[in-house]
Copies of this chain bind each other. A is one copy, B any other.
């Protein structure tokens, strides 16, 4: 088994997930900004030219960070990061998707539409990026209200992939020099607490 991974928000999600599971997977580092995801050899593994990519011993390719996490969750269910019972799994998947839809995809799209590096990947719209920057504070305020019940983690009493996804979004904020608004104290408390975990990389900026 080999993991092809690089410095990217999705790459970070898988790295933190594996660290929380205490799994050491042979990894080939891919220089994303240097263009290594655009080589013929890489595109043969993932036609979308994105990390992370997991190659199993039988040659099966798994792309998409959450799909890679799912693979390891099923094979190594403890500690649980995606839930045990049906209700737990659904709750964590709901919160993971909320973190993705409300935060991660918002800040990710800001990066995609602002950073010169992505000009070859898509038709950039600076106006759209600006509208997302205006929309982001309300989304953070929504999350702040949702977690104002004092629970320690996004999906409840246990750390989960929802927290990892939320932290990936905040790391993109740091990378894009987007400061958290002043009125999201619960979000800040949660982020400060989660950042203490040994699995977490250093926050950029």
Where the two chains meet, the residues of A that have a C-beta atom closer than 8 Å to any C-beta of B are 47-48, 54, 56, 60, 62-64, 66-68, 70-72, 74-75, 85-87, 89-91, 93-94, 97-98, 101-102, 105, 122-123, 125, 127-128, 131, 134-135, 142, 145-146
Contact = CB atoms under 8 A, between A and B. Distances in A.
A67 B47 contact: no
A93 B74 contact: no
A121 B72 CA distance: 37
Report copies per complex. Answer: 2
A94 B67 contact: yes
A60 B91 contact: yes
Contact of A127 (B64, B98, B128, B146): B128
B87 A60 contact: yes
Which 7 pairs across A and B sit closest by C-beta, in order of nearness?
A74-B86, A71-B90, A67-B94, A67-B93, A128-B128, A123-B131, A64-B97
Nearest to A90: B71
Contacts of A145: 47
Contacts of A142: 47-48
Contacts of A54: 90
Contacts of A75: 86
Contact of A71 (B68, B71, B72, B86): B86
